[in-house]
Structure 1
Amino acid sequence: MPRSSHPSFGIMTAPMQVEYADVLRVWREADRIPQIEHAWLFDHLMPIGGDPAGPVLEGWTLLSALAAQTRRLRLGVLVTSNRFRPPAHLAKIAATVDLVSGGRLDFGIGAGSRPSHPLARREYDAHGLPFHDAAHAVEGLAESLTVIRRLWTETEPFDFDGAHHRLTGAFGNPKPVQRPHPPILVGGRSAPVLRLAARHADLWNIPGGDLADVVARSALLDRYCTELGRDPASLTRSIHLPVSYDRPGPTRDAIAEAIGAGFHHIVLGLPDPYPADVAHWVADELITPSRPAAPTVG
């Protein structure tokens, strides 16, 4: 998936402190708006913002439901925590969503929440999930990316004997609709994760914020691609930018800065509650003013 000279825009609806009907309304509306090309959920089991005891919907289950209720949007989880599910199980879940959606899945994955985030950390203890250090998490992610890709593409059963994952007679059927497999998006900013992105990803995503740091991370990713003999331009740069309904100007400024820095896959994070006609507002107030003007002929 080479970098496009034209940015693509999507929305992110974090499924916490909201109802299924709220998210479905926004996604159905966005599905009818050509300027919005992709839509995303997150992967947390408890809220990481707002009321700690508030509702949160499971990302992949919700994604499958939304895949069945939309027709055009590309869709994904930004990003799946590799700590939550064994890779063979995750490969099956993702292949199923690709089938349900008719081949619209972008497969987003990362190493999992960092230990310094207490609201994210508590969901591991609450669900009986182990929480190892960052090095362990990155090593596990590397193995998972290898296993998932093989399950999506290989036509015979195989064994895998890794340090973190061991499979005997592993085989994936049915395969995803997209061949050789759905685009892989790796999210994260640490150097070890960037190395994995350079090796495995079609897209790399990073949260916006300190643009100088974002640009430096992108340059480091360029270096890792070059070391692997990969053209850095073949890896699409993606950025998540928070949206303010009351102050769209700063959001437009952030979009322009990101595009100028080479990020052409823009994910606009929508805060809850979602206003009526919010997808149309995003298209009119944020996307249309941010698209580069078409060259004049004459």
Structure 2
Amino acid sequence: MTQTPRPRFGIMTAPSQVDYHDVLRVWHEADTIPEIEHAWLFDHLMPIGGDPKGPTYEGWTLLSALAAYTRRLRVGVLVTSNRFRPPAMLAKIAATVDIVSGGRLDFGIGVGSRPSHPLARREYEAHGLPFHDAAHAVGSLAEACAVIRRLWTEAEPFDFHGTYHPLTGAFGNPKPVQRPHPPILIGGRSSATLRVVAEHADLWNIPGGDIDDAVRRSALLDHYCADIGRDPATIARSIHLSVSYDQPSATRDAISEATDVGFEHIVLGIPAPYPPDLARWVTDELITASA
């Protein structure tokens, strides 16, 4: 009988409608608690909830600062919008963060904001960024993953004749600390994105909510892995679950549902404002109580 892997718990602090020092406080505390193994930011340039003119920090810049101020947590962005940065630039940014962290980066990436979310869509127009259709976004993501991995691992410059990302003399130096490269987490639920997950990811993340849909998407990912001859067990299943301070039992139930169906990488989204001793509360009320 195959033993179910022990769940690995982490937190996600959306760097929006908060102060930098509040995020730092929570990460500092989480870094001292072994039950919390990973911590995440999101990747938006403007608020997608609350005051539309409120503060939102750039995810990778903030992640580098938090990586320098922590010692144990694995760190990442859940997930980087592939629409925001050219992949060769993103590979350089991520390698830098992996070095700053001493090899603790989990590299999260996805196609970018869905067009149906108006508050997310406006950030592209406000920053002069193009917003292509879904087919373009998925094709671009697949090429980006290939380019980024090669920049992290290849010892000589190379040309990349991509449809979306043609590169000449591409080369990455310094390389990330982790070998052969930082784990790649791809987030998303569409069938097109899941094909990219099967090809490129070490972890797959899906937003929580409908657990039956998550199970169906996980089975579809297994199918796509079989199509290309990959063992689906080599892709860890990750899920983001929203935390309720007022109803922790609801969050515990969601954790139990997710782990029962094979999601072993749990990201707990904690809403702002952050109460004192929040990381300890998450550990005692959600992680330990769900064991």
Q: Which TM-score band (shorter chain)? A: over 0.9
Give unmatched runs, 5+ long, in structure 1: 292-298
Where do 1:1-298 residues align within 5 Å? Answer: 5-291=5-291
C-alpha distance in 2 between matches for 1:8 and 1:156: 36
- Percent sequence identity is 78
Aligned partners of 1:233, 1:290: CA distance in 2, in Å?
A: 24
Mapped contact 2:4–2:262 kept (Cα < 8 A): no
Structure 1 residue 166: Cα displacement: 1.1
Deviation sequence 1:43-93 (CA, Å, 0-9, x none): 000000110000000000000000000000000000000000000000000
Q: Residue 227 of structure 1: CA displacement?
A: 1.1
* d(CA) in 1 for partners of 2:275, 2:100: 28
Q: CA deviation at 1:162?
A: 0.8
Query: Matches of 2:160 and 2:154 in 1, distance apart?
Result: 13
What is the alpha-carbon distance in structure 1 between the residues aligned to residue 70 and residue 211 of structure 2?
33
Alpha-carbon separation, structure 2, partners of 1:29 and 1:68: 14
In 1: Cα distance, 2:234 partner to 2:129 partner: 36
Q: Distance in 1 between matches of 2:9 and 2:273?
A: 21
1-structure distance, mates of 2:28, 2:248 = 23
CA change 1:74–1:162 in 2 (3 A) is same
CA distance in 2, matches of 1:162, 1:5: 38
Q: Which secondary structure does the structure 1 equivalent of 2:288 belong to?
A: helix
Per-residue deviation at 1:290? 1.4
Alpha-carbon distance in structure 1 between the residues aligned to 2:234 and 2:151:
23
Structure 2 distance, partners of 1:260, 1:231, is 21
What's the secondary structure of 2:36's corresponding residue? coil
Paired residue type of 2:146? T
Secondary structure of the corresponding residue to residue 37 of structure 1: strand
AA aligned opposite 2:269: G
Deviation of 1:4 (Å): 6.3
State how far apart, in whole Å, the 2-side matches of 1:244 and 1:5 are. Answer: 26
**Deviation digits for residues 110-144 of structure 1, max 9, x if unmatched?**
00001110000000000000000000000000110
TM-score (norm 2): 0.98
CA contact (8 A) 2:64 2:100 kept: yes
CA RMSD of aligned residues (A): 0.8
2:138 corresponds to which letter in structure 1? V
| CA displacement at 1:272 relative to structure 2 | 0.2
- Offset from partner CA, 1:138-180 (integer Å, 9 cap, x none): 0000110000000000000000111111111000000000000
SS of equivalent residue, structure 1 residue 123: helix
CA displacement 1:196-247 (0-9 Å, x = unmatched): 0011000000000011111000000010111111111111000000000111
C-alpha separation in 2, matches of 1:4 and 1:148: 32
How far has the Cα of 1:263 moved from its partner?
0.2
2:263 alignment partner, SS class? coil
TM-score normalised by structure 1 residue count:
0.96
Where 1:218 maps in the other structure, the secondary structure is: helix
Aligned counterparts of 2:152 and 2:9: Cα–Cα separation in 1: 27
The one-letter amino acid paired with 2:143 is E
Distance 1:139 1:56 in 2: 28
Equivalent position of 1:295 in the other structure: none
Q: Distance in 2 between matches of 1:4 and 1:124?
A: 41
